[in-house]
Amino acid sequence: MKEKIKLTEEEWKKKLTPEEYHILREKGTERPFSGKYVDNKKKGKYVCAACGNELFDSDDKFDSGTGWPSFTKTSDKGSVEENEDLAYGMVRTEVLCSKCGGHLGHVFDDGPKPTGKRYCMNSASLKFEDK
């Protein structure tokens, strides 16, 4: 069990940029092809922009063509939590950081083999760390 981070919304506002706050805390979505990691092909890991929790590895990143950084799996089973999201008249699975509860994006079942998963993430929710 990971240690949880609990901050008030005021504290998050101070810690995050307005864009990060909107996506991570208000469940926003960045415009496709606008994020800084869409075409990032460097080797390294992606951690939560809010709390540093390790989320994804560059080895699992693939070019989904959607305009958002996409991964076939998380780097560790316990790194994210999933929630049914019924917003905007769609049934989707929201992906949240397991440590701080920040909104990261959604996961879909149309990813490449072997997992068949497509973790569709917001660049603003992630921080890349070079290997």
- In whole angstroms, give the CA distance from residue 87 to residue 103: 14
Give contact residues for Fe ion (rule: CB under 5 A): 48, 50-51, 53, 97, 99-100, 102
Q: How far is the CB of 36 from Fe ion (least distance, A)?
A: 18
The whole-angstrom separation of Cα 66 and Cα 111 is 12
What is the closest distance, in whole angstroms, from the C-beta atom of residue 102 to Fe ion in the complex?
A: 5
Helical residues (DSSP H) of 29-114, grouped into ranges: none
Which phi and psi (to 5°) does residue 27 adopt? 60, 40
Q: Flag whether 61 is marked binding.
A: no
Q: Active site residue: 120, 121, 124, 126, which one? A: 120
Catalytic residue check, 21:
no
Question: What residues act catalytically?
Answer: 120
